[in-house]
Amino acid sequence: MSLITANNTVSRGSAFAAVALLLGLAGIFPACSAADGDQAAKAESTASNVVAVIGGEPVTMSDLEEIAAPQLKQLDRQRYQILERSLDQLVEQKLLEMAASKAGKTTEELIESEVNAKITAVTDAEVDAWYEENQARVRGRDKAEIVDQIKQFLGQERGGETRSAYIEGLREEYGVKIRFEPQRVDMQVADAPVKGPDNAPVTLVEFSDFECPYCSSVTPTLKKITETYGDKVRIAFRQYPLGFHAKAQKAAEASLCAREQGKFWEMHDAMFADQKKLEVAQLKTTAAGLEVDTAKFDECLDSGKFADAVKKDFDAGQAAGVSGTPAFFINGRMIEGAVPYDQLAAVIDDELERLSGD
C-alpha cells in the first residue's frame, strides 16, 4: 500500500519578521565575523547536545543515537507498518459500509453473503498436497497428527483470499486511490545473484539463510512470482546466515563458489530442497552433482574465498533493519518473514500501479 503523508503548513511570519529586523539593523551595529558566529553556534550546539559527562568528557545525543540506531530504525518501521495497516482497515471499513448501504444490508449481512457463503471447504487432496509441499515447515511430523491444523490453516487462508478478492473488487468499483507513501530502504542489488532483467520495474531483494526452514518454505512462492510477473520483476538473493545456524555460513559460501561457475541458482535450489545435507562434505557432493569443476569448487569452499562477501551482505542486511530470515525488500519496501504469495503479490501490484501513474 502506498501512503503519502499530508503536508502541514506552519506559519512562520513572526520568524521572517524577526529576520528582516535583524537584517535591517546589520548596517548600524558592529557585526561579529562569520568565523566567530560559526564557533559560537558550534559551541552552543555541542552544549545543548550533551546528554552526559563522564570524567569530564561529554557524551552527545549523536553518540546516543548512533548506539540506538538499530532500535530506532525498528521503531520507525513499526510506525509505518501501523499506519499502513490502519489505512487498509479504514479503506476496507468505508468500502463495506458503502456497499452495504447500496445493497440495503448491514455490513455483517454483506460479509456473510458475499464472503463467508462463497468459501469452499478444504478437501483431503488439498491437505495432502500442502503437506507434501511443506515438509520443511512440518519438520517431519506425521500428517495424521496435524491434519486438523492444516485444514484450519488452509480454511483461514482461503477465507482471507475470498475476502481480499471481494474487497479488491470494491476498490475497483469505487475507484480507490491511495496516496500514502510507504517507507523505503535504499536497497542496492550490488553484485548479488539475480533472476530477471536489469530494467524490470520491480526489484525484490531477499535476505536468506540456507539452514532456515522458513527460507526454504518461500522457494515455491518466489518461483510463482517469477512465473506470474515474468520480466516485470527481478529477484536478487543476498546472504544472511544466522549465528545460531552452524552450517549456514559455509552453505552461503558454497552458493557463491557455485555461482563462480555459473551454478548459483542450481546450488540454491539443491540446498533448500534438502537442508539436512549442509555439512561441508555434503555441500561438495551436491556441487559435484551439478557438474561443476569439483577441484575448483572444493578449493574455493575450503579457503573461505567468499567469506567476506557473505559478511558484506550480512552487514548490509543489518544496516537495513533485517533481524531474521527471510526478509524481503520490494523496491525498498521491507516485508519480514515467510509471508504467503498474496502478501508479496499485493506489494508488487501496488508498485506496478504506482509506476503506471494510475
Residue 224's CATH number: 3.40.30.10
- C-alpha cell read off for 194: 539475480
Residue 189 lies in a domain: no
Residue 21 lies in a domain: no
Determine the Cα–Cα distance for residues 301 and 284; give it in Å rounded to an integer: 8
- 174, 206, 223 — which closes off a domain? 174
Q: Are 219 and 162 in the same domain?
A: no
Determine the Cα–Cα distance for residues 266 and 211; give it in Å rounded to an integer: 16
Query: Of 182, 198, 233, whose CA–CA distance to 348 is shortest?
Result: 233
Q: Are 155 and 102 in the same domain?
A: yes
- C-alpha cell read off for 289: 552433482
Place 3 in a pLDDT band, splitting at 50, 70 and 90: very low
pLDDT tens-digit series, residues 184-221: 998 888 789 999 999 999 999 999 999 999 999 999 99
pLDDT tens-digit series, residues 81-128: 899 899 999 999 999 999 999 999 999 999 999 999 999 999 999 999
Q: Which domain holds residue 167?
A: 70-174
Residue 31 lies in a domain: no
Q: Are 165 and 198 in the same domain?
A: no
Residue 50 lies in a domain: no
Residue 37 lies in a domain: no
* Model confidence at 18: pLDDT above 50: no
Q: Are 221 and 101 in the same domain?
A: no
Q: Are 278 and 352 in the same domain?
A: yes
Q: Are 254 and 338 in the same domain?
A: yes
Q: Are 265 and 157 in the same domain?
A: no
Residue 164 lies in a domain: yes
Q: What is the CA radius of gyration of the chain?
A: 27
**Residue range 324-352: mean pLDDT, rounded:** 94
Residue 4 lies in a domain: no
Please name the amino acid found at residue 76: D
Phi first, then psi, for residue 330 (nearest 5°) are -105, 105
Residues 84, 86, 91, 96, Cα dihedral to 10°: 140
**Residue range 166-174: mean pLDDT, rounded:** 95
pLDDT tens-digit series, residues 210-251: 999 999 999 999 999 999 999 999 999 999 999 999 999 999
pLDDT tens-digit series, residues 257-313: 999 999 999 999 999 999 999 999 999 999 999 999 999 999 999 999 999 999 999
